[in-house]
Chain A
Amino acid sequence: MKYFLVLLISISLLTAGAGANAASCKYKQNKADDFTGERLVKVDWVDMTGWASSTFNRTIGGRKDIEVAAESAGGRSLLKFRLKLSDAVQKPPRESDLYSALYVPTGSSLEITMADESKIELMVDEAVRGTNRAKYDQGSYVISAKFTVRYPLDAELAERLANEDVVYLRLAAQSHKYDFVTDKGSIEFNINKKGQQAFRKVVGCLQQAQHEATT
């Protein structure tokens, strides 16, 4: 029993260390721009959704997946989220329904609740409309929305995100007809164990690449 506990503690320590582990950083891009010479860093996507929520009900709507990545160019850093949402309805959608199915206006907030219960708020600086589609499937219309939303990130907030787990996300958005967005005007994620270290990882890797570029 004692050995089992030691093993469990060792595994959890190893997992906790993964966020800051240099070898685990994956970059889609980490080089100087050919034309401007500015350093471009794009940390690869990290899935924050557990397999259960991403696979259950996928064919009949109710899908809710989120991935996070980070990038920096010319001294400006961004936290990026890629979302895939779906909802099932009985009536075929009109084009205007799809147009307004998912929209994130400029200035919309992202509220991040950290494991220590502190909160961080970021703002969208460029509006995003989802890639919204409809597909007839088993007697209903599955409406899906895919989009990537970017939030500028300063050095102080990056430091906080790189050093604490995240437990809850609330992204402000608009949807006129579908259940992608709650009545409060937000898309909410209760982050499970798998995704809680995602911010540590992507922001930590971004900081590491920036550090390496300056030394």
Chain B
Amino acid sequence: MIRWLAVTALVASATFAGGSAMAADCKIDTDETDKFTKVRTLVTRRNSLESFWGDSSKDKQKDIYVAAYYKDGSKALQIGLWFTNYVERMPPDYELRNTLVIPKESRLLVMMADDSIVTLHSVNPVNAGSRATRTTGRVSVDTGATIYYPLDDDLITALTSQDATKIRVEAAETHYDFKIHEKSLGDIGNAIQCLQANL
């Protein structure tokens, strides 16, 4: 049993280690042109900036994903947030509404390797709710949202010239901080370069 567990762990770690090499590869998740409007949409593959396990503690887990996005001549950084809380009792419906609110023009702060900070502003307001699911013995409360931060030439230069180390996503009454995992330090710059290479 222990041997199988060890083999599984080795396979998982090999897959995980391969992730950093793959992150540098340019992979496109969506490349389609609307048949009616002829508008092209291009999205790079989403990469998690957290470790394989996410940033987790006993009762909470949080993940952040990044991709570069292009539509109709505009480029943006696409940030996906995913939170899971584990609680004992099923929350009432009213508590599951508006759990993640990010107003338009909210900031995304990206700390670069030289400790300089690149600031982006969201273009779409986000008002996400949560979903509660009873699992074995407790309730899992999941919340997810995708936020778009437009990119201009200056931002692209700043974000692709060096690695990013930390991210702060500002929300309505709080902010969410993420330390970018070692395997993902170059993922923001790589996603933008991948997008540009495919335009």
Residues of A within 8 A of B91 (CB): 131, 133
List the B residue with the shortest CB-CB distance to A95.
B92
Query: Are B117 and A35 neighbours in the complex by a CB distance under 8 Å?
Result: yes
Contact A99 B168 (CB under 8 A): no
Q: A133 near B168 (CB under 8 angstroms)? A: no
**CA gap between A99 and B96 in the complex, in Å:** 12
B163 shortest CB reach to chain A, Å? 15
* Chain A nearest Cβ from B176, distance in angstroms: 12
A98 within 8 A of B: yes
Q: B92, B109, B173: which contacts A35 (Cβ < 8 A)?
A: B109
Which residue on A lies nearest to B166, using beta carbons? Answer: A34
B71 adjacent to chain A (CB < 8 Å) = no
- A133 to B94: give the CA distance in the assembly, Å: 12
Q: Tell me if A's interface is mostly helix, strand, loop or mixed.
A: mixed
Find the A residue at minimum CB distance from B173: A126
A95-B93 contact, Cβ under 8 Å, with A35-B117, A35-B168: yes
B111 touches A99 (CB 8 A): no
A196: CB under 8 A from chain B?
A: no
Q: Is A133 a contact of B111 with CB atoms below 8 Å? A: no
* Chain B residues with CB under 8 A of A132: 92
A76 at the interface (CB under 8 A from B): no
Nearest B residue (CB) for A93: B92
**In the complex, A135 has a CB within 8 A of chain B:** yes
Whether the pair B95, A131 counts as a contact (CB closer than 8 A) is yes
Inter-chain CA distance A34–B111, complex, in Å, is: 9
B136 CB to closest chain A CB, in angstroms?
Answer: 19
Least CB distance, B104 to chain A, in whole angstroms? 21
Q: Which of A98, A126, A135 has a CB less than 8 Å from the CB of B92?
A: A98
For residue B187, give the distance in angstroms from its CB to the closest CB of chain A. 19
Chain A 117-155 per-residue mask, 1 if CB under 8 angstroms from chain B, else 0: 000000000100001110100000000000000000000
- A34: nearest chain-B partner, CB-CB: B166
What residue of chain B has the Cβ atom nearest to residue A132's Cβ?
A: B92
B89 at the interface (CB under 8 A from A): yes
* B177: Cβ under 8 A from any A Cβ: yes
Instruction: State A51–B156 Cα separation when bound (angstroms).
Output: 58
Residues in chain B near residue A131, CB distance under 8 A: 91, 95
1/0 per residue, CB under 8 A from B, across A89-112: the answer is 000000100110000000000000
In chain A, what residue has the closest Cβ to B89? Answer: A133
Q: A132 CA to B95 CA in the complex, in Å?
A: 9
List, in ascending order, chain A residues with CB within 8 A of B177's CB.
Answer: 34
Q: A133-B91, A135-B89 are in contact. List 7 more A-B contacts (CB 8 A).
A: A34-B168, A35-B109, A35-B111, A35-B168, A95-B93, A98-B92, A99-B92
Chain A interface residues (CB < 8 Å from chain B): 34-35, 95, 98-99, 126, 131-133, 135
A-B residue pairs in contact (CB < 8 Å), sample of 20: A34-B111, A34-B166, A34-B168, A34-B177, A35-B109, A35-B111, A35-B166, A35-B168, A95-B92, A95-B93, A98-B92, A98-B94, A99-B92, A99-B94, A126-B173, A131-B95, A132-B92, A133-B89, A133-B91, A135-B89
